[in-house]
Amino acid sequence: MQKKKFSIGWRNENKHPSLSEVFSSVSVPKQKGRWKKLFAFTGPGLLIAVGYMDPGNWATDIAGGSQFGYMLLSVIFISNFFAIILQHLALKLGIVCERDLAQACRDHYPPLISFILWILCEISIAACDLAEIIGSVLALKLLFGIPITWGVLITAIDVLIILFFQSKGFRYIESVVAALIFTILVCFSFEIISSKPEIFSILKGIVPNPEIIKDSHSFYISIGILGATVMPHNLYLHSSIIQTRDYPRTTEGKKMAIKYATIDSTLSLSLAFFINAAILIISAATFHKSGYTEVADIMDAHKLLNPILGSSLSGVFFALALLASGQNSTLTGTLAGQIVMEGFINIKFKPWIRRLITRLIAIVPAMIASIVYGEKGTTELLIVSQIILSIQLSFAIVPLVNFTGDSEKMGPFVNGPILKISAWVITIIIVLLNLFLLYNTFLGRR
Protein backbone atom coordinates (compact mmCIF):
# COMPACT_ATOMS: atom_id res chain seq x y z
CA MET A 1 0.00 0.00 0.00
CA GLN A 2 1.25 3.45 -0.83
CA LYS A 3 2.63 5.44 2.06
CA LYS A 4 0.44 8.38 2.96
CA LYS A 5 1.34 11.39 5.09
CA PHE A 6 -1.15 13.77 6.61
CA SER A 7 0.85 16.97 6.31
CA ILE A 8 -1.90 19.34 5.22
CA GLY A 9 -2.63 22.18 7.62
CA TRP A 10 0.91 22.63 8.97
CA ARG A 11 2.79 25.90 8.53
CA ASN A 12 6.11 24.09 8.09
CA GLU A 13 7.13 20.69 6.77
CA ASN A 14 8.56 18.28 9.33
CA LYS A 15 11.99 17.32 8.03
CA HIS A 16 13.41 15.37 10.95
CA PRO A 17 12.05 12.28 12.74
CA SER A 18 11.57 12.51 16.49
CA LEU A 19 14.46 10.95 18.47
CA SER A 20 16.17 10.14 15.18
CA GLU A 21 18.75 7.82 16.79
CA VAL A 22 15.99 5.36 17.84
CA PHE A 23 13.30 6.17 15.25
CA SER A 24 11.66 2.93 13.98
CA SER A 25 14.32 0.93 15.83
CA VAL A 26 11.94 -1.54 17.51
CA SER A 27 10.67 -4.11 15.01
CA VAL A 28 7.00 -5.00 14.77
CA PRO A 29 6.16 -8.49 13.39
CA LYS A 30 4.51 -8.43 9.99
CA GLN A 31 2.54 -11.64 10.49
CA LYS A 32 -0.92 -11.67 12.09
CA GLY A 33 0.11 -12.49 15.63
CA ARG A 34 -1.86 -10.30 18.02
CA TRP A 35 0.14 -11.15 21.13
CA LYS A 36 3.45 -10.68 19.33
CA LYS A 37 2.33 -7.30 18.01
CA LEU A 38 1.07 -6.27 21.43
CA PHE A 39 4.41 -7.26 22.95
CA ALA A 40 6.22 -5.22 20.28
CA PHE A 41 4.17 -2.15 21.23
CA THR A 42 4.55 -2.74 24.96
CA GLY A 43 7.02 -0.31 26.51
CA PRO A 44 6.13 3.30 25.72
CA GLY A 45 3.08 3.04 27.99
CA LEU A 46 5.29 1.97 30.90
CA LEU A 47 7.58 4.97 30.35
CA ILE A 48 4.50 7.19 30.42
CA ALA A 49 3.05 5.51 33.50
CA VAL A 50 6.22 6.48 35.39
CA GLY A 51 5.18 10.13 35.28
CA TYR A 52 1.94 9.24 37.02
CA MET A 53 3.64 7.62 39.99
CA ASP A 54 6.60 9.95 40.53
CA PRO A 55 7.51 11.44 43.96
CA GLY A 56 5.36 14.49 43.22
CA ASN A 57 2.24 12.32 43.57
CA TRP A 58 3.21 10.89 46.92
CA ALA A 59 2.58 13.95 49.07
CA THR A 60 -0.94 14.58 47.73
CA ASP A 61 -1.91 10.90 47.99
CA ILE A 62 -0.54 10.63 51.54
CA ALA A 63 -2.34 13.83 52.60
CA GLY A 64 -5.61 12.69 51.01
CA GLY A 65 -5.53 9.31 52.71
CA SER A 66 -4.52 10.53 56.16
CA GLN A 67 -7.13 13.30 56.30
CA PHE A 68 -10.11 11.82 54.47
CA GLY A 69 -9.58 8.07 54.52
CA TYR A 70 -10.63 6.34 51.31
CA MET A 71 -12.94 9.11 50.09
CA LEU A 72 -10.52 10.60 47.54
CA LEU A 73 -9.94 7.30 45.73
CA SER A 74 -12.59 8.48 43.27
CA VAL A 75 -10.45 11.53 42.46
CA ILE A 76 -7.46 9.31 41.61
CA PHE A 77 -9.76 7.17 39.45
CA ILE A 78 -11.16 10.18 37.55
CA SER A 79 -7.69 11.70 37.14
CA ASN A 80 -6.44 8.42 35.72
CA PHE A 81 -9.34 8.34 33.25
CA PHE A 82 -8.40 11.85 32.10
CA ALA A 83 -4.81 10.67 31.67
CA ILE A 84 -5.84 7.67 29.55
CA ILE A 85 -7.77 9.94 27.15
CA LEU A 86 -4.99 12.52 26.87
CA GLN A 87 -2.24 9.95 26.36
CA HIS A 88 -4.34 8.30 23.65
CA LEU A 89 -4.45 11.65 21.84
CA ALA A 90 -0.68 12.07 22.25
CA LEU A 91 0.19 8.70 20.77
CA LYS A 92 -2.31 9.22 17.97
CA LEU A 93 -0.71 12.56 17.06
CA GLY A 94 2.72 10.95 16.87
CA ILE A 95 1.58 8.00 14.79
CA VAL A 96 -0.67 9.84 12.33
CA CYS A 97 1.26 13.07 11.76
CA GLU A 98 4.72 11.58 12.36
CA ARG A 99 5.44 14.51 14.63
CA ASP A 100 5.85 14.68 18.38
CA LEU A 101 3.89 17.39 20.16
CA ALA A 102 6.88 19.75 20.25
CA GLN A 103 7.44 19.40 16.49
CA ALA A 104 3.72 19.88 15.90
CA CYS A 105 3.74 23.14 17.87
CA ARG A 106 6.80 24.35 15.94
CA ASP A 107 5.19 23.47 12.60
CA HIS A 108 1.85 25.05 13.49
CA TYR A 109 2.50 28.19 15.54
CA PRO A 110 4.51 31.30 14.61
CA PRO A 111 8.16 31.21 15.79
CA LEU A 112 7.55 33.52 18.79
CA ILE A 113 4.66 31.44 20.15
CA SER A 114 6.65 28.27 19.61
CA PHE A 115 9.64 29.76 21.46
CA ILE A 116 7.47 30.75 24.43
CA LEU A 117 5.95 27.26 24.59
CA TRP A 118 9.45 25.79 24.53
CA ILE A 119 10.61 27.97 27.45
CA LEU A 120 7.52 27.02 29.49
CA CYS A 121 8.11 23.37 28.71
CA GLU A 122 11.77 23.52 29.73
CA ILE A 123 10.75 25.10 33.05
CA SER A 124 8.25 22.31 33.68
CA ILE A 125 10.84 19.62 32.87
CA ALA A 126 13.29 21.24 35.30
CA ALA A 127 10.52 21.31 37.92
CA CYS A 128 9.80 17.65 37.28
CA ASP A 129 13.51 16.85 37.59
CA LEU A 130 13.51 18.75 40.86
CA ALA A 131 10.78 16.46 42.19
CA GLU A 132 12.79 13.42 41.07
CA ILE A 133 15.91 14.69 42.84
CA ILE A 134 14.01 15.30 46.07
CA GLY A 135 12.37 11.88 45.93
CA SER A 136 15.70 10.13 45.41
CA VAL A 137 17.44 12.25 48.06
CA LEU A 138 14.78 11.51 50.69
CA ALA A 139 14.93 7.81 49.82
CA LEU A 140 18.74 7.74 50.19
CA LYS A 141 18.42 9.37 53.60
CA LEU A 142 15.75 6.91 54.71
CA LEU A 143 17.58 3.82 53.44
CA PHE A 144 21.22 4.64 54.19
CA GLY A 145 21.13 7.72 56.45
CA ILE A 146 22.90 9.82 53.80
CA PRO A 147 22.57 13.57 54.59
CA ILE A 148 20.27 15.56 52.31
CA THR A 149 23.08 17.74 50.93
CA TRP A 150 25.25 14.76 50.00
CA GLY A 151 22.22 13.02 48.53
CA VAL A 152 21.68 15.94 46.15
CA LEU A 153 25.24 15.55 44.85
CA ILE A 154 24.90 11.77 44.48
CA THR A 155 21.84 12.19 42.24
CA ALA A 156 24.08 13.85 39.65
CA ILE A 157 25.86 10.51 39.13
CA ASP A 158 22.72 8.91 37.66
CA VAL A 159 23.63 10.74 34.43
CA LEU A 160 26.21 8.01 33.78
CA ILE A 161 23.69 5.24 34.42
CA ILE A 162 21.17 6.77 32.02
CA LEU A 163 23.77 7.27 29.29
CA PHE A 164 24.85 3.65 29.63
CA PHE A 165 21.35 2.32 29.01
CA GLN A 166 20.67 4.84 26.23
CA SER A 167 23.70 3.53 24.37
CA LYS A 168 22.36 -0.04 24.57
CA GLY A 169 19.12 0.70 22.72
CA PHE A 170 15.58 1.80 23.46
CA ARG A 171 14.38 -1.64 24.53
CA TYR A 172 17.00 -1.60 27.31
CA ILE A 173 15.57 1.64 28.68
CA GLU A 174 12.07 0.16 28.61
CA SER A 175 13.32 -2.96 30.40
CA VAL A 176 14.96 -0.93 33.17
CA VAL A 177 11.78 1.10 33.64
CA ALA A 178 9.69 -2.09 33.76
CA ALA A 179 12.01 -3.56 36.41
CA LEU A 180 11.77 -0.42 38.57
CA ILE A 181 7.97 -0.34 38.22
CA PHE A 182 7.89 -4.00 39.29
CA THR A 183 9.96 -3.04 42.34
CA ILE A 184 7.47 -0.31 43.25
CA LEU A 185 4.59 -2.73 42.71
CA VAL A 186 6.11 -5.37 45.01
CA CYS A 187 6.85 -2.80 47.71
CA PHE A 188 3.34 -1.40 47.78
CA SER A 189 1.76 -4.84 47.58
CA PHE A 190 3.63 -5.66 50.79
CA GLU A 191 2.51 -2.38 52.36
CA ILE A 192 -1.16 -2.96 51.45
CA ILE A 193 -1.14 -6.50 52.88
CA SER A 194 0.52 -5.23 56.06
CA SER A 195 -1.90 -2.32 56.50
CA LYS A 196 -5.02 -4.57 56.20
CA PRO A 197 -7.34 -2.01 54.56
CA GLU A 198 -11.14 -2.33 54.61
CA ILE A 199 -12.26 -3.74 51.24
CA PHE A 200 -15.79 -2.32 51.48
CA SER A 201 -14.42 1.16 52.27
CA ILE A 202 -12.09 0.95 49.26
CA LEU A 203 -14.98 0.08 46.92
CA LYS A 204 -17.07 2.86 48.47
CA GLY A 205 -14.22 5.34 48.01
CA ILE A 206 -14.02 4.72 44.25
CA VAL A 207 -17.58 6.07 43.91
CA PRO A 208 -17.56 9.93 43.80
CA ASN A 209 -18.80 11.47 47.05
CA PRO A 210 -20.52 14.92 47.06
CA GLU A 211 -18.66 15.68 50.31
CA ILE A 212 -15.47 16.09 48.28
CA ILE A 213 -16.82 19.31 46.77
CA LYS A 214 -18.67 20.50 49.88
CA ASP A 215 -15.57 20.34 52.06
CA SER A 216 -13.17 23.06 50.88
CA HIS A 217 -10.08 21.27 52.21
CA SER A 218 -10.87 17.94 50.54
CA PHE A 219 -11.62 19.83 47.33
CA TYR A 220 -8.25 21.56 47.55
CA ILE A 221 -6.39 18.27 48.00
CA SER A 222 -8.43 16.76 45.16
CA ILE A 223 -7.20 19.47 42.82
CA GLY A 224 -3.67 18.76 44.01
CA ILE A 225 -4.10 15.07 43.18
CA LEU A 226 -5.35 15.96 39.71
CA GLY A 227 -2.51 18.42 39.14
CA ALA A 228 0.09 15.88 40.26
CA THR A 229 -1.39 13.09 38.17
CA VAL A 230 -1.57 14.57 34.66
CA MET A 231 2.00 15.49 33.70
CA PRO A 232 2.59 17.89 30.75
CA HIS A 233 5.95 16.42 29.70
CA ASN A 234 4.30 13.00 29.30
CA LEU A 235 2.27 14.29 26.36
CA TYR A 236 5.44 15.36 24.53
CA LEU A 237 7.18 12.13 25.50
CA HIS A 238 4.44 9.74 24.37
CA SER A 239 3.95 11.40 20.99
CA SER A 240 7.65 10.82 20.34
CA ILE A 241 8.58 7.43 21.76
CA ILE A 242 5.67 5.69 20.03
CA GLN A 243 7.53 6.42 16.80
CA THR A 244 10.34 4.10 17.90
CA ARG A 245 8.16 1.25 16.58
CA ASP A 246 8.82 0.07 13.03
CA TYR A 247 5.19 -0.21 11.90
CA PRO A 248 4.17 0.41 8.24
CA ARG A 249 3.72 4.16 7.72
CA THR A 250 0.47 3.56 5.81
CA THR A 251 -3.19 4.11 6.67
CA GLU A 252 -3.65 0.48 7.70
CA GLY A 253 -0.31 0.41 9.48
CA LYS A 254 -1.22 3.49 11.48
CA LYS A 255 -4.60 2.02 12.44
CA MET A 256 -2.81 -1.05 13.74
CA ALA A 257 -0.25 1.04 15.61
CA ILE A 258 -2.91 3.20 17.28
CA LYS A 259 -4.82 0.09 18.36
CA TYR A 260 -1.91 -1.69 20.06
CA ALA A 261 -0.32 1.50 21.40
CA THR A 262 -3.62 2.44 23.06
CA ILE A 263 -3.86 -1.00 24.69
CA ASP A 264 -0.29 -0.61 25.99
CA SER A 265 -1.00 2.90 27.27
CA THR A 266 -4.30 1.98 28.94
CA LEU A 267 -2.92 -1.10 30.70
CA SER A 268 0.18 0.78 31.87
CA LEU A 269 -1.86 3.69 33.23
CA SER A 270 -4.14 1.20 34.99
CA LEU A 271 -1.00 -0.03 36.76
CA ALA A 272 -0.18 3.58 37.67
CA PHE A 273 -3.71 3.91 39.07
CA PHE A 274 -3.14 0.88 41.29
CA ILE A 275 0.11 2.32 42.68
CA ASN A 276 -1.33 5.80 43.30
CA ALA A 277 -4.42 4.25 44.87
CA ALA A 278 -2.15 2.02 46.98
CA ILE A 279 -0.37 5.06 48.45
CA LEU A 280 -3.69 6.61 49.45
CA ILE A 281 -5.09 3.30 50.73
CA ILE A 282 -2.02 2.65 52.89
CA SER A 283 -2.24 6.20 54.25
CA ALA A 284 -5.95 5.76 55.02
CA ALA A 285 -5.55 2.31 56.59
CA THR A 286 -2.64 3.36 58.80
CA PHE A 287 -2.62 7.09 59.53
CA HIS A 288 -6.31 8.00 59.23
CA LYS A 289 -7.43 4.89 61.09
CA SER A 290 -4.93 5.58 63.89
CA GLY A 291 -5.94 9.23 64.23
CA TYR A 292 -2.92 10.72 62.48
CA THR A 293 -4.96 12.93 60.17
CA GLU A 294 -2.37 15.62 59.52
CA VAL A 295 0.30 13.50 57.82
CA ALA A 296 1.21 15.17 54.52
CA ASP A 297 4.98 14.75 54.50
CA ILE A 298 6.91 11.82 53.02
CA MET A 299 9.41 11.78 55.92
CA ASP A 300 6.67 11.84 58.57
CA ALA A 301 4.84 9.05 56.77
CA HIS A 302 7.97 6.91 56.83
CA LYS A 303 8.54 7.52 60.55
CA LEU A 304 4.99 6.48 61.43
CA LEU A 305 4.72 3.35 59.27
CA ASN A 306 6.97 1.12 61.36
CA PRO A 307 5.35 1.72 64.79
CA ILE A 308 1.79 1.58 63.40
CA LEU A 309 2.25 -1.58 61.35
CA GLY A 310 4.70 -3.14 63.80
CA SER A 311 7.18 -4.16 61.10
CA SER A 312 10.60 -2.71 60.40
CA LEU A 313 10.27 -3.83 56.78
CA SER A 314 7.41 -1.39 56.19
CA GLY A 315 9.70 1.63 56.25
CA VAL A 316 12.32 -0.14 54.13
CA PHE A 317 9.83 -1.05 51.39
CA PHE A 318 8.38 2.47 51.50
CA ALA A 319 11.83 4.05 51.00
CA LEU A 320 12.82 1.50 48.35
CA ALA A 321 9.67 2.28 46.36
CA LEU A 322 10.44 5.99 46.66
CA LEU A 323 13.98 5.48 45.35
CA ALA A 324 12.72 3.39 42.41
CA SER A 325 10.11 6.04 41.67
CA GLY A 326 12.68 8.84 41.61
CA GLN A 327 15.13 6.94 39.40
CA ASN A 328 12.39 5.86 37.01
CA SER A 329 11.21 9.43 36.56
CA THR A 330 14.78 10.52 35.93
CA LEU A 331 14.98 8.23 32.90
CA THR A 332 11.80 9.55 31.31
CA GLY A 333 12.61 13.16 32.22
CA THR A 334 15.88 12.91 30.29
CA LEU A 335 14.07 11.72 27.18
CA ALA A 336 11.40 14.41 27.50
CA GLY A 337 14.08 17.10 27.72
CA GLN A 338 15.76 15.86 24.57
CA ILE A 339 12.43 15.68 22.72
CA VAL A 340 11.28 19.22 23.49
CA MET A 341 14.65 20.81 22.69
CA GLU A 342 14.92 19.03 19.34
CA GLY A 343 11.23 19.44 18.58
CA PHE A 344 10.72 23.12 19.40
CA ILE A 345 13.99 24.69 18.24
CA ASN A 346 15.59 21.87 16.24
CA ILE A 347 18.80 21.93 18.28
CA LYS A 348 20.51 18.64 19.08
CA PHE A 349 22.93 18.24 21.99
CA LYS A 350 24.76 15.10 22.93
CA PRO A 351 22.64 13.22 25.51
CA TRP A 352 25.14 13.71 28.35
CA ILE A 353 25.24 17.50 27.74
CA ARG A 354 21.45 17.73 27.64
CA ARG A 355 21.19 15.66 30.84
CA LEU A 356 23.74 17.76 32.69
CA ILE A 357 21.99 21.01 31.74
CA THR A 358 18.62 19.78 33.02
CA ARG A 359 20.05 18.29 36.19
CA LEU A 360 22.15 21.35 37.06
CA ILE A 361 19.11 23.60 36.73
CA ALA A 362 17.31 21.40 39.25
CA ILE A 363 20.27 20.70 41.55
CA VAL A 364 21.00 24.35 42.36
CA PRO A 365 17.69 25.13 44.13
CA ALA A 366 17.67 21.67 45.75
CA MET A 367 21.17 22.22 47.13
CA ILE A 368 20.36 25.71 48.44
CA ALA A 369 17.17 24.49 50.11
CA SER A 370 18.92 21.49 51.70
CA ILE A 371 21.75 23.64 53.09
CA VAL A 372 19.56 26.46 54.40
CA TYR A 373 16.37 24.65 55.42
CA GLY A 374 17.21 20.93 55.52
CA GLU A 375 14.42 18.35 55.10
CA LYS A 376 11.66 20.92 55.43
CA GLY A 377 13.11 22.99 52.59
CA THR A 378 13.27 20.04 50.21
CA THR A 379 9.68 19.09 51.04
CA GLU A 380 8.53 22.64 50.31
CA LEU A 381 10.39 22.52 47.00
CA LEU A 382 8.46 19.37 46.12
CA ILE A 383 5.23 21.34 46.47
CA VAL A 384 6.63 24.22 44.40
CA SER A 385 7.58 21.82 41.62
CA GLN A 386 3.97 20.59 41.40
CA ILE A 387 2.69 24.17 41.17
CA ILE A 388 5.03 24.84 38.24
CA LEU A 389 3.80 21.70 36.51
CA SER A 390 0.21 22.86 37.00
CA ILE A 391 1.00 26.15 35.26
CA GLN A 392 2.52 24.38 32.25
CA LEU A 393 -0.21 21.74 31.91
CA SER A 394 -2.69 23.90 30.01
CA PHE A 395 -0.06 24.93 27.45
CA ALA A 396 0.45 21.26 26.53
CA ILE A 397 -3.15 20.02 26.59
CA VAL A 398 -4.77 22.77 24.50
CA PRO A 399 -2.48 22.34 21.45
CA LEU A 400 -2.79 18.55 21.67
CA VAL A 401 -6.60 18.56 21.71
CA ASN A 402 -6.65 21.21 18.98
CA PHE A 403 -4.29 19.31 16.65
CA THR A 404 -5.99 15.91 17.02
CA GLY A 405 -9.39 17.52 16.40
CA ASP A 406 -8.25 19.14 13.13
CA SER A 407 -9.37 17.11 10.10
CA GLU A 408 -6.79 18.78 7.83
CA LYS A 409 -3.97 17.55 10.06
CA MET A 410 -5.36 14.16 11.04
CA GLY A 411 -7.27 13.11 7.92
CA PRO A 412 -9.46 10.05 8.60
CA PHE A 413 -7.89 9.74 12.07
CA VAL A 414 -9.41 13.00 13.35
CA ASN A 415 -11.14 12.77 16.73
CA GLY A 416 -14.76 11.68 16.42
CA PRO A 417 -17.56 13.84 17.89
CA ILE A 418 -17.69 12.00 21.24
CA LEU A 419 -13.91 11.96 21.69
CA LYS A 420 -13.62 15.59 20.58
CA ILE A 421 -16.25 16.77 23.07
CA SER A 422 -14.80 14.59 25.85
CA ALA A 423 -11.29 15.92 25.21
CA TRP A 424 -12.38 19.56 25.36
CA VAL A 425 -14.47 18.95 28.50
CA ILE A 426 -11.45 17.33 30.18
CA THR A 427 -9.26 20.23 29.03
CA ILE A 428 -11.63 22.85 30.42
CA ILE A 429 -11.96 21.01 33.74
CA ILE A 430 -8.19 20.64 34.14
CA VAL A 431 -7.51 24.26 33.18
CA LEU A 432 -10.15 25.64 35.58
CA LEU A 433 -9.10 23.41 38.48
CA ASN A 434 -5.42 24.24 38.04
CA LEU A 435 -6.23 27.96 37.91
CA PHE A 436 -8.22 27.53 41.12
CA LEU A 437 -5.30 25.68 42.72
CA LEU A 438 -2.83 28.38 41.72
CA TYR A 439 -5.15 31.14 42.92
CA ASN A 440 -5.50 29.58 46.35
CA THR A 441 -1.82 28.68 46.58
CA PHE A 442 -0.52 32.18 45.89
CA LEU A 443 -3.11 33.78 48.16
CA GLY A 444 -2.27 31.33 50.93
CA ARG A 445 -5.80 29.98 51.24
CA ARG A 446 -6.57 26.37 52.11
- The string of pLDDT tens digits covering residues 150-194 is 877 777 676 566 667 666 777 888 888 888 888 888 888 888 888
Do residues 335 and 120 touch, judged by C-beta distance below 8 A?
A: no
Total structural domains in the chain? 1
Question: What are the CA-CA distances from residue 278 to residues 34, 53, 181, 196 (Å)?
Answer: 31, 11, 14, 12
Q: What CATH number is associated with residue 233?
A: 1.20.1740.10
Each as own residue / partner, the long-range contacts of residues 309-312 (CB below 8 Å, 24 or more positions apart, any chain) are: 309/194, 309/195, 311/194
**Which residues partner with 435 through β-bridges?**
none
Confidence of residue 443 (pLDDT cuts 50, 70, 90): low
For residues 229 and 422, what is the distance between their CA atoms, to the nearest angstrom? 18
User: Residues of the chain with pLDDT > 90: what percent?
Assistant: 29
For residue 85, what are the domain limits?
26-443
Is residue 6's pLDDT more than 50?
Answer: no
**Mean pLDDT computed over every residue of the chain:** 82
2-16 average pLDDT score: 64
In a domain, 199, yes or no: yes
Assess if residue 4 is contained within a domain.
Answer: no
- Residue 155's pLDDT is 73
Query: Model confidence at 250, in pLDDT bands (50, 70, 90)?
Result: very high
pLDDT band at 334; cut points 50, 70, 90: confident
Render the burial of 253-277: b for 16+ CB within 10 Å, e for the rest. Answer: bbebbbebbbbbbbebbebbbbbbb
In-domain check, residue 21: no
CA dist., res. 311 & res. 184, Å (int): 18
Q: Please report, rounded to a whole number, the percentage of residues in the chain having pLDDT higher than 70.
A: 82
Identify which has the larger pLDDT, 92 or 275: 92
Comparing CA positions, the residue from 279, 289, 160 lying closest to residue 225 is 279
Angle among Cα 122, 125, 128 to the nearest 5 degrees reads: 155
pLDDT mean over 105-132 = 85
Domain assignment present for 14: no
Q: What pLDDT sits at residue 57?
A: 76
pTM of the predicted model as reported, rounded to 2 decimal places: 0.88
- Say if 7 falls within a structural domain: no
Q: Is residue 87 part of a domain?
A: yes
- For the cut 70, the answer to whether the pLDDT of residue 351 exceeds it is no
Tally Cβ neighbours within 10 Å of residue 146: 16
Q: What is residue 25's three-state secondary structure?
A: coil
Q: Higher confidence at residue 150 or residue 109?
A: 109
pLDDT at 283 over 80: yes
Q: What is the pLDDT of residue 136?
A: 81
How many Å apart are CA 56 and CA 188, to the nearest integer? 17
Angle among Cα 149, 153, 156 to the nearest 5 degrees reads 150
pLDDT at 377 over 80: no
What average pLDDT does the segment 251-264 reach? 95
Q: How do residues 382-431 score in pLDDT, each as one tens digit?
A: 666 666 776 778 889 999 999 999 999 999 999 999 999 999 999 998 88
Say yes or no to pLDDT of 82 above 60: yes
Residue 1: the pLDDT is 43
Residue 339 exposure: Cα atoms within 13 Å on the Cβ side? 32
pLDDT at residue 267 is higher than 90: yes
pLDDT of residue 432: 84
- Given a contact cutoff of 8 angstroms between Cβ atoms, the answer to whether 47 and 177 are in contact is yes
What CA–CA distance (Å, rounded) separates 335 from 354? Answer: 10
pLDDT computed for residue 33 by the predictor: 81
Q: How far is residue 369's CA from residue 378's CA, in Å, rounded to a whole number?
A: 6
**Rounded to 5 degrees, what are φ and ψ at 179?**
-65, -40
Residue 15 lies in a domain: no
Is 13 contained in some domain? no
pLDDT of 410 reads 94
